[in-house]
Structure 1
């Protein structure tokens, strides 16, 4: 009976530890914000140009110029709308640290944009981890570098360090 109470206590303690730990997702995404903003600005400019070329007071409306002007404005409109609505598909993988399964998964997006697991390693199979200011290096059991991951913030670093410290050796 005492053994059962001890197991119940250990299960509730481990359940409390799982409730406090959160999964950590680290993305390898480059800085697409500047590119997206630039594409949106150019798209808006092209759409305004497509309409404004018909409103310019000094434009010549000769019969030979009208088809060229129509084709140019349609091209500006189509390219501008496509630049405004484009979504960047980044094929870089994501690293997902799962505290419940105690594993790290590398997820890569397939051609449909759905993530697929390409690598799965349990925390027990990792040799160690070294945290720097803006990155974490994970090592294999033989000491070789397994992966180097960028960290977005100090909060992500502390959450990941708290998650890995229970199962993986943290190098100084």
Structure 2
């Protein structure tokens, strides 16, 4: 039996990744976006500069420079977009938890894979199960209202020795 976001009843089940906010990637994306906006603004401002020469060789240089700056700026702004939130897949047959990110039309990449036996610990409280990876970092917090799915997950974690 596999438990996954795609196969569960959306009304009764919530599966969400738990991640600590890391400032590094966010700061890099903000810097990329700011640089991209500055390049696009500079490409347009190049044509508004007062006292600029209008000779043909200077105009060609300004055109090439402004097109390059605008394309580089748009590329930086596009690449600074926030990546898709990873989805949690819990496979009770293979006894593993996977973080999967959708990258293109229907293509997924596995960001992290952790078997039930490799988990550092697991906690079970009512309808919630919290999982930590082998480095003791939060991996997932799963809220399941379907009793059969919860029984399958808890029995798999007990068999791996992560729940008592």
What TM-score, normalized to structure 1? 0.51
* Deviation, structure 1 residue 108: 5.4
Q: 2:137 maps to what in 1?
A: 150
RMSD: 4.6
Distance 1:37 1:26, change over 3 A: same
Question: Larger C-alpha radius of gyration, 1 or 2?
Answer: 1
Q: Given the alignment of the two structures, is residue 25 of structure 1 paired with residue 21 of structure 2, yes or no?
A: no
Question: How do residues 107-126 of structure 1 correspond to structure 2 at under 5 angstroms?
Answer: 107=99, 112=104, 114-115=107-108, 121=115, 123=116, 126=117
CA distance in 1, matches of 2:52, 2:20: 49
Distance 1:87 1:101, change over 3 A: farther
CA contact (8 A) 1:96 1:106 kept: yes
Which structure ranks higher in relative contact order (CA pairs < 8 Å, sequence separation ≥ 6)? 2
Gaps of 5+ in 2: 1-10, 123-130, 144-152
Q: How many residues align?
A: 131
Question: How do residues 33-112 of structure 1 correspond to structure 2 at under 5 angstroms?
Answer: 33-86=26-79, 96=88, 98=90, 103-107=95-99, 112=104
Gaps of 5+ in 1: 1-18, 138-146
What TM-score, normalized to structure 2? 0.53
